[in-house]
Amino acid sequence: MGDCIMTAWAAAGIRALHPSAEIHWAIQPRCAAVVAGDLARPRIVPREKRQSSGGLMPMLRFFLDLRRTRFDVGFDFQGYAKTALCLRFAGPRERFALAGLRIRDRFAESLTPPTQVGPENRHVIEREIVLVRTWRDIPFVARPPMPAFPEESKAWEAGEAPITLQTGAGGPHKTWPREDWQKVADALTKTGRRVVALGGPGDPDLDRVQSLVGRASLEESLAAVRASRLHIAADTGTGHAAAAYGVPLISLFGATDPERYRPWGDGVRL
């Protein structure tokens, strides 16, 4: 989800330059809600082979369906085999790609040679803006348009705006101990603040607060973040969402390089 939100800056720049452009995203089902609305049209990637009994045929059908759209331009912001194949099969008239940040994928580079975008420690959002600017001189918007989720937001219209804590993250090297989250929650509740815990199935749950851990959909969680007076998260997607919404954020980084991956915004404290 964080990758999708960081890419939203490039998509918003394209939209600002070409208001009538039809922007398609090849995106995993669990992240599609992030780019819903005016920003883009999600095109749902079939589940990976290990998650489906359908093998490679659903992915092939997906590639062929993309090709029928006859795209003018396509961008690979990830630089790995799966995204490189998707871009190549889609068959846009012009193709642009980034090299993979985590590992170098020679196969992906053979399909679309990557564009050089400057220093390796440049932030992901800056890298993607530079990539798109090799095609058109798009503006660097202050914040991208994010979905509002009007139905899910109704639950937060009355009462004090919450402080939300995202207790989980995408991997063990990004997580923070449950007992430390609990200390933060207890300290905040003692000041009379409304504290809400967010997280997916299996994330640490908290006591003595309103907990939506494992109980809320992605849309409901993002609506809670959007309504927050403050969001606190480790290096994970809801932190990027808070920054994109303009919600004040405390972001806890550990093993990940913040120069590349920190949430982007003026109200962010690392």
Are residues 174 and 123 located together in one domain of the fold? Answer: no
Query: Which of 133, 160, 186 finishes a domain?
Result: 133
44 SS3 class: strand
Q: What is the mean pLDDT of residues 245-255?
A: 95
Are residues 129 and 12 located together in one domain of the fold? Answer: yes
Q: How far apart are CA 31 and CA 48, in angstroms?
A: 14
Tens digit of each residue's pLDDT (9 = 90 or more) over 62-76? 988 999 999 999 999
**Statement: residue 245 has pLDDT above 60:** yes
Looking at the 3D structure of the chain, how many domains does it have?
2
Q: Which domain holds residue 82?
A: 2-133
Tell me if 12 is assigned to some domain. yes
Tell me if 144 is assigned to some domain. no
Q: How far apart are CA 32 and CA 122, in angstroms?
A: 26
CATH number for the domain that contains residue 245: 3.40.50.2000
**Statement: residue 121 has pLDDT above 90:** no
Are residues 176 and 86 located together in one domain of the fold? Answer: no
Q: Is residue 31 within 8 Å of 53, Cβ to Cβ?
A: no
Give the per-residue pLDDT at 195: 98
195: phi then psi, degrees, rounded to nearest 5: -115, 135
Tell me if 59 is assigned to some domain. yes
Tell me if 188 is assigned to some domain. yes
Tell me if 143 is assigned to some domain. no
Tens digit of each residue's pLDDT (9 = 90 or more) over 200-219? 999 999 999 999 999 999 99
Give the per-residue pLDDT at 103: 83
What CA–CA distances, in Å, run from 199 to 57, 178, 208, 224? 33, 12, 16, 11
For the CA atoms of 143, 148, 154, 160, the dihedral, rounded to the nearest 10 degrees, stands at -10
Mean pLDDT, the chain, whole residue set: 92
Are residues 46 and 97 located together in one domain of the fold? Answer: yes
Q: Is residue 94 within 8 Å of 116, Cβ to Cβ?
A: no
Give the per-residue pLDDT at 22: 92
**Statement: residue 29 has pLDDT above 60:** yes
Give the per-residue pLDDT at 68: 93
Give the per-residue pLDDT at 49: 47
Q: How far apart are CA 15 and CA 21, in angstroms?
A: 6
pLDDT band at residue 38 using 50, 70 and 90 as cut-offs:
low
Are residues 109 and 170 located together in one domain of the fold? Answer: no
**Statement: residue 13 has pLDDT above 60:** yes
Are residues 117 and 14 located together in one domain of the fold? Answer: yes
